[in-house]
Structure 1
Amino acid sequence: MTEIRTPRLLLRRWQDDDLAPMADINADPRVMRWIDDGSVRDLDRTAQAMELWEEEWDEEGFGLFAVELLASGELAGVTGLSVPWYLPEVLPAVAISWQFGTPFWGQGYASEAAHATLEFALQDRGLDRVVSIIRAGDDASESVIRKLGMALERETVHPVHGYPLRVHAIDLTEFQA
């Protein structure tokens, strides 16, 4: 089982008891504002997403981690790697992403988890390059991206929803562990 420990977090595969807390995160419009079409997700859609995340682990050897606080055992959110099939212009690529519940914002958890995930991608999984695709205007994610050392590669438009996207990238030679 793939797990990563940071000073404050455990990044791990998904468990059945993660469904309810992840569904709570997905039901918050403040969290979902920057994700996909911006709509909240119910318990069933969250369960479907978790199944897809686990399938990607099995098929690709990487995927989205559940992010648990070491101190309390709470599920704080998700971070990890996925293939951004929805944006063919960046393929072949692997994208890093994150999503945290509002009680966990502003405490550096996203940066801590994303840095550990990027290190996992470039050093453990042997990827040469990782991208991050975010919706323009998502300043909190832009801050995480700067901390990761990723550089803006291009601006584009979401092919389905039509909103502006910013694609950042980093390669193995640029990464500072």
Structure 2
Amino acid sequence: MTEIRTPRLILRRWHDDDLAPMADINADPAVMRWTGDGSVLDLDQTAEAIERWEDEWDDEGFGLFAVELLASGELAGFTGLTVPEFLPEIMPAVSVGWRLGRQFWGQGYASEAAHATLEFALQDRGLDRVVSIAPVGDAASENVARKLGMVPERETVHPVHEVALQVQAIDLTEFQA
């Protein structure tokens, strides 16, 4: 089982008891504002998403980690790596992403978790480049990407949701782990 510990977080594979708290996160319109078309997800949709995330671990050797607070054991959301097949113009690529519950915003958790994920990508999985994909205007995600040392690479449009997207990238050979 893959697990990463940071000073405040545990990044780990998904447990059955993660479903309800992740569904609560996915049901918050403020959290989902910058995801897809902005629609919230219900319990069944969240269960399907977690199943897809776990399948990606099996298929790719990486995926989205559940992010747990070390101090309380609370599920804060996710961070991790995924193959952004929905954007064929940037393939082949691996992207880093994150989604945290609103009560966990503004505390540096996303940056801490994403930084650990980039270390994992470089040191454990041997990746040499990772991208971040966020809607144009999602200042919080752009800020996390900037803190990771990512630089803007291109703008494009989501092929399904027709949302303008900013693609940022980092060459992991230059990443300060």
Length-normalised TM-score, structure 1: 0.99
Distance 2:134 2:4 in 1: 24
Distance 1:109 1:128 in 2: 24
| Unaligned ranges ≥5, structure 2 | none
Distance 2:55 2:154 in 1: 29
Q: Structure 1, residues 71-99: CA drift from partner, whole Å, max 9, x if none?
A: 00000010000000100001000000000
Q: Structure 1, residues 16-62: CA drift from partner, whole Å, max 9, x if none?
A: 00000000000000000001111000000000000000000001000
Aligned to 1:148: 148
Distance 1:135 1:149 in 2: 18
Aligned to 2:104: 104
Within-5 A mapping of 1:132-143: 132-143=132-143
1:161 Cα offset (Å): 1.0
Within-5 A mapping of 1:36-75: 36-75=36-75
Aligned to 2:117: 117
What is the aligned length?
Answer: 177
Does the residue aligned with 1:35 lie in a helix, a strand or coil?
A: coil
Does the residue aligned with 2:103 lie in a helix, a strand or coil?
A: helix
Does the residue aligned with 2:77 lie in a helix, a strand or coil?
A: strand
1:173 Cα offset (Å): 2.2
Query: AA paired with 1:114?
Result: A
Does the residue aligned with 2:24 lie in a helix, a strand or coil?
A: helix
Query: AA paired with 1:137?
Result: G
Aligned to 1:90: 90
1:70 Cα offset (Å): 0.4
Query: AA paired with 2:120?
Result: F
Does the residue aligned with 1:176 lie in a helix, a strand or coil?
A: coil
Distance 1:75 1:161 in 2: 28
1:135 Cα offset (Å): 0.4
Query: AA paired with 1:100?
Result: L
Q: Structure 1, residues 103-157: CA drift from partner, whole Å, max 9, x if none?
A: 0000000000000001100111000100000000000011101100000000111
What is the RMSD computed on CA atoms of the aligned residues?
0.5
- Runs (4+) off by over 4 Å: none
Query: AA paired with 1:170?
Result: I
- Between the aligned residues of both structures, percent identity stands at 79
Query: AA paired with 1:89?
Result: E
| Unaligned ranges ≥5, structure 1 | none
